Structure 1
Amino acid sequence: MRKQLATLAALLLLTACTQDVPGPDPSAPSATPPSCPRDLDSSLSAWAVAGFSGSIAVSTGDTIDCLAAYGSADENTPNRIDTVFDIGSISKAVTAAAVLALADEGRLKLDDRAGDLLPELTGPVRAATVRQLLLHTSGLKGTHAGDTQPMTARQALTAIGRLETAAPPGVKYLYSNAGYTLLALIVEAVSGSGYRDYLASRVLRLPRGRTAGGFWNGQPAAPGPRAAGYRADGSRADGGRFAGPFWATEGNGGLAMTAGDLAAWTRALFTGRIVSAAATAAIATAGRPIDAHRGETPGWVAFDATRYGEPFLTAAGGGGDVGHNAVVVWLPRRQRVVAIMSNQLKISAEDLLRAVGPAIATGRPLPAPPAPAGAADPAAAVGAYRLSTGGSFEVGVRDGRLAVAAVGADAVTALFPPPPGVPASRLRAHEELVRRLLAGETREGRRERAAFEKGIGPIDRVTLAGTTAHEGEIRTYVSVVSRGKPVLGWYALNEEGGVEAAEVPADEPPTLRLLPSGDNRYRPDDPAGVGPAVSVRIADGLLTVYRPDGATTSARRAG
């Protein structure tokens, strides 16, 4: 069934863990010597030892401050500075630039309506303007396809036309992958050369004639060696072998680059070398507030000075299905770009940015990752621990780490408390939206049930299995019984009940990897400090989870 790419809803709130991937020394840079100052390279190498695998590029003006790679591209090859990564939703920034380039050329206006530019488009989204699509205010609330669903342009146009809207265009901010695919369809129709050709020939062109990357699947492909992506369960992703057609992700994802190319393209964009000065100003100016500290711009999110001491713009993308993550930051006052890419999820690109971004942005020394935990044998803790309320913690060992899986809503609540700023009422509201979806009470819910029944089997019963705040989004896990067998999955919905991301069947229940910290206690294996604020003690047949608001104890199940 569908496994959809998760998108960034709030910057720098991601957390994930993964098994280690065998390969070269993770602290070793690429075969090409890094062009980083020695102290910065030493600090980044420490983060590589802690679990970061990927590439980083930092530039100020026309000067490259740091360009280096760390960790493993696959089981046998180190990452290099020319290693290519899937950039996920950062592709939206490129799509937005394509739209604004067409506006510069006089081929469309930002106040043109989608239905006028695409006469075959049906449904309420016909009334949305190009500007509203760029700022995620078209009202679209659903998804038109799963990421690896083969889909033609005509099929995408039909599917988007059938989507519901949560509000009239221009009224409500609601992040929409489908809206950016609709923009790509507009580029396809208006450019006269097609979406992919227009990007390659016009929008991805760098000064001096170079092209910044290409596509992860299909042609024109991003040139260079590719990093394999590793999912949260340690399995290897497909590596760009999807045969297409690609209109499930066209416009909202699908591009690939090196970190250096992403940094160079970002600088070219914001210094007026790709679109006009007026278009550059439109990209750099928040056109729609998201919350008190950030606002949406065409393809980017504009933040105030709270985080870095000056305003900045950012874009990010990636997900568990490809194992890649990418993030780029533009600091206009300093004319500085920070681009980070990763191919393992223990410390993703966004995790690393959260930990070291303020220091890189301001030129201070980087903070060090936490020191390794003390030695211990976690095998003695393996087993199932039952809560008095019915759920359980299933404890195993993976790559020398303790892995605690939460089974049941009560166990999930205990092991994954909501982070600061996310009230429990918001989690409960999300659960109600998921219940309505899988009960078929909405049009999208009826489609979801039909897709499940076609791919897996008839739905006999649905049980909510816990809700977490994970990777910048809220996920509700469900156990769906089909033909007498339970199928575990999760859904992330927007506030109007539209599916933003889903994984059915899920790779695993909500799981924490833990390291010993002394006195029979364990802490999350989370060097970037983005995971849940919990610790676990396992002794005398009891497993106790300690949270800021209290503790929950479970007893080992006999046998």
Structure 2
Amino acid sequence: MTNKYLMAAAAVTAAGMLAACTGAGSEPRAAHTSARATASDAGAGRARPMCDPRLDAAFERWERAGFSGSIAVTTRGRSDCVAAYGSANDATETPNTADTVFSIGSITKAVTAATVFRLAEDGRLRLDDRAGELLPGLKGPVARVTVRQLLLHTGGLKGSHGEDHEPLGRTAALRAISRLEVAFRPGSGYAYSNAGYTLLALIIEKVSGTTYRAYTAAKTLRLPGGRVAGGFWDGEPVPSGPRATGYLESGRTGERGGFAGPHWALDGNGSVAMTAGDLAAWTRALFTARLVSAESAKAIGTPGHDLGEGRAETPGWVAFDASVYGKPFLASSGGGGQVGHDAVVLWIPQDQRAVAIISNKPRTTAEDLLKKVGPALIAGKPLPVPRAPATAPGPRAAAAVGKYTLRSGGTFDVRAAGGGLKVSATGADAVGALFPPKRGGAAGATAADLRANERRVRDLLDGRSREGRKERAALEEDFGPLRGIDVGATLFHGGDIRTYVTLTARNGARTTGWYSLDALGGVSAAEVPTGPPTLALVPAGRDRYRPDDPAGTGPEVTVTFRAGHMSVTGPGGTGPGETGPGGTGEGGTGAGTTAVAVRAERPSRSAPTDG
């Protein structure tokens, strides 16, 4: 599973979440459930859908801009907002509701951490026990890592132990984790590790005397009053309620929860599923000592390993001090995997407020929404709403459609998509123009970050590490013996730094994919095969288009179509493009410059468009 909570929480906090509401107008539509509720405690029973009308009006605007999912806010146990927006399944036209279940991805780690503390309270383990002492079958350097170090990602585990939705049994998982390398002396550094939390799940199963899943459902997911908050996306026990279909950036639907298992690639680190309301209720129950003791709840929320800039790792969470946004808070999130869901949950101790947002579509994710509305909520201002496409007519989509070539060789393929366009870039020059690094490293990636990821991907696919050799073997198993791997452009997109690669098999077949690696060179996210990087555009004036990016988290570019030329202007201003010999040219792809490409081909009039 992909870890995204550091980036998401760094940009937002829900302090003062209900202190500021907007009076923006709204339009009724069937896909949204919102009504007043009288339940005073969301943890006591399933609350009826409700949301403050002013908050709801703003969230409706975000729904129209592409947000699809569910939102829950509780303050001191009272449900302030439980609402759902968008579609749970486009094919069946089923709307999301307050009872819709989503995968919460890496927020599972918060559940696993709480389970470890329950077992410590019962005297079945100690936080300073070594993993090998609790699991005699565990071998290698990982056996010397302590439970506390696993909880805080300071054990130094390097690499992954299995693919998310490939069968992996308990014995095989233990063997795979035993083979992992330790990148630094345990306790002396930080390296986020999914395998570390699966190791904790294996320890839970060993010391509890029952299965990880059975113990978790019976002890850690059971809310005050006896109701169980969710279950597991794949396998049993299952959460009650209808499920949201996840949609990936490629347009494909995500894993639907029918994977038969065994599930040890995800257990402990990314397998739990809940409604947004249950996630908020569970978070409150955890930090108000209803799931663990008051001493354990305090320990879970106490800053552990210092991450800098007012942030610190805690067991299953990241703690932010008051220097960041005026009030301390804790945050966790999960997403970016094969399910197609994105989840964020915050806990603000001073207000005893829990905020949970979960999405099932990529256009405006849960993290995107929190990044956008958080600062205004803190300042006590109305919630910001997404900008609407310009009303001034752009060129007809058919007039802009075609293939455009830069003088340096990169290409843009432009096709119609609904009321706008989609542009796919091929070649480092074209990708760099369409997806320039944001000024000052905004959105989480500087030019140096991009270069570092590209260097790590080269090392990985050259087989210079154990994980790299394993990855090469997996690629050859899927695509046949490889003749070569070409590393292409690197960009920041969808919350990941992605380096694109082209695999060439011995039979000449070519496959495109991308990798996002962590600081130790481990795979944190990847998609192989996939298409080239693609950007959706909406009209922004007579000849201009801008990214279809309601939350403003994507690239800062303007695309202009005029007289057979396509100009891509990066952040910081415009610089004149020059037309070179043969009709192609570019003025560079850095900040404040314009890359100019000339149409080389136009599709036939019968070419299909995207809806």
Equivalent position of 2:598 in the other structure: 555
Is 1:90 aligned with 2:87?
no
Is 1:499 aligned with 2:516?
no
| Correspondent of 1:158 among 147, 172, 175 | 175
What stretches of structure 1 move > 6 A for 4+ residues in a row?
24-27
| Correspondent of 1:304 among 306, 321, 334 | 321
AA partner of residue 521 (structure 1) = R
Equivalent position of 2:424 in the other structure: 405
AA partner of residue 378 (structure 1) = A
Say if 1:56 and 1:259, in contact at 8 Å, map to a contact too. Answer: yes
AA partner of residue 162 (structure 1) = R
Equivalent position of 1:48 in the other structure: 63
Distance 2:384 2:348 in 1: 20
Task: Mark the runs of 5 or more structure 2 residues left unpaired by the alignment.
Answer: 12-26, 37-48, 572-590, 603-611
Equivalent position of 1:29 in the other structure: 32
Equivalent position of 1:109 in the other structure: 126
Is 1:149 aligned with 2:166?
yes
What is the SS of the residue equivalent to 1:509?
coil
Output aligned runs, 1:116-265, within 5 Å.
Answer: 116-265=133-282
Q: 1:93 to 1:473 in 2, by over 3 A?
A: same
Is 1:77 aligned with 2:94?
yes
What displacement does 1:361 show? 5.8
Output aligned runs, 1:286-301, within 5 Å.
Answer: 286-301=303-318
- CA RMSD for the aligned pairs? 1.9
What displacement does 1:538 show? 1.5
Is 1:64 aligned with 2:79?
yes
Q: 1:509 to 1:450 in 2, by over 3 A?
A: same
Say if 1:98 and 1:187, in contact at 8 Å, map to a contact too. Answer: yes
Deviations 1:32-54 (A, max 9, x none): 66411211111111111111111
Say if 1:27 and 1:48, in contact at 8 Å, map to a contact too. Answer: no
| Correspondent of 1:392 among 411, 436, 445 | 411
Kindly, what percent of the aligned residue pairs are identical?
Answer: 56
Equivalent position of 1:18 in the other structure: none
Deviations 1:519-557 (A, max 9, x none): 311111111111111111121111111112122111111
Distance 1:304 1:417 in 2: 32
| Correspondent of 1:316 among 326, 329, 333 | 333
Equivalent position of 2:587 in the other structure: none
Equivalent position of 1:379 in the other structure: 398
Q: 1:163 to 1:137 in 2, by over 3 A?
A: same
Distance 1:145 1:401 in 2: 40
Deviations 1:439-489 (A, max 9, x none): 111111111111111111111111112111234332111011112121101
What is the SS of the residue equivalent to 1:413?
helix
Distance 2:34 2:88 in 1: 12
Equivalent position of 1:444 in the other structure: 467
What displacement does 1:109 show? 0.5
Task: Mark the runs of 5 or more structure 1 residues left unpaired by the alignment.
Answer: 15-23
What displacement does 1:113 show? 0.4
AA partner of residue 44 (structure 1) = F
Distance 2:298 2:175 in 1: 34
What is the SS of the residue equivalent to 1:544?
strand
What is the SS of the residue equivalent to 2:339?
coil
Distance 2:601 2:70 in 1: 47
AA partner of residue 352 (structure 2) = Q
Say if 1:13 and 1:530, in contact at 8 Å, map to a contact too. Answer: no
| Correspondent of 2:533 among 493, 503, 510 | 510
AA partner of residue 125 (structure 2) = L
What displacement does 1:389 show? 1.7
Deviations 1:53-89 (A, max 9, x none): 1110011102111111111111221111011011000
1 or 2 for the larger relative contact order (CA 8 Å, sep ≥6)?
A: 1
Deviations 1:3-39 (A, max 9, x none): x65644422589xxxxxxxxx9867412866411211
AA partner of residue 525 (structure 1) = D
Is 1:454 aligned with 2:473?
no
What is the SS of the residue equivalent to 2:450?
helix
What displacement does 1:234 show? 2.1
Say if 1:110 and 1:129, in contact at 8 Å, map to a contact too. Answer: yes
AA partner of residue 30 (structure 1) = T
What displacement does 1:399 show? 2.9
AA partner of residue 248 (structure 1) = A
AA partner of residue 417 (structure 2) = R
AA partner of residue 42 (structure 1) = A
AA partner of residue 151 (structure 1) = L
TM-score by length of 1: 0.94
What is the SS of the residue equivalent to 1:253?
coil
Equivalent position of 2:433 in the other structure: 414
Equivalent position of 2:7 in the other structure: 10
Q: Which deviates more from structure 2 when the two are superposed, residues 139-148 or residues 467-476? A: 467-476
What displacement does 1:426 show? 2.4
Say if 1:7 and 1:500, in contact at 8 Å, map to a contact too. Answer: no
Say if 1:227 and 1:343, in contact at 8 Å, map to a contact too. Answer: yes
Equivalent position of 1:480 in the other structure: 503
Deviations 1:479-502 (A, max 9, x none): 111121211011111112111111
Q: 1:423 to 1:53 in 2, by over 3 A?
A: closer
Q: 1:95 to 1:330 in 2, by over 3 A?
A: same
Say if 1:142 and 1:500, in contact at 8 Å, map to a contact too. Answer: no
Greater radius of gyration (CA): 2
Distance 2:293 2:390 in 1: 53
Say if 2:255 and 2:340, in contact at 8 Å, map to a contact too. Answer: no
Equivalent position of 1:20 in the other structure: none
AA partner of residue 390 (structure 2) = A
Distance 2:250 2:527 in 1: 13
AA partner of residue 145 (structure 2) = A
Deviations 1:412-459 (A, max 9, x none): 111111233333222112211111111111111111111111111111
TM-score by length of 2: 0.86
Deviations 1:82-126 (A, max 9, x none): 110110000000001011111111110000001111111111111
Distance 1:464 1:484 in 2: 17
Distance 2:153 2:368 in 1: 25
Is 1:489 aligned with 2:525?
no
Distance 2:10 2:349 in 1: 23
Distance 2:141 2:427 in 1: 40
Q: Which deviates more from structure 2 when the two are superposed, residues 27-36 or residues 51-60? A: 27-36
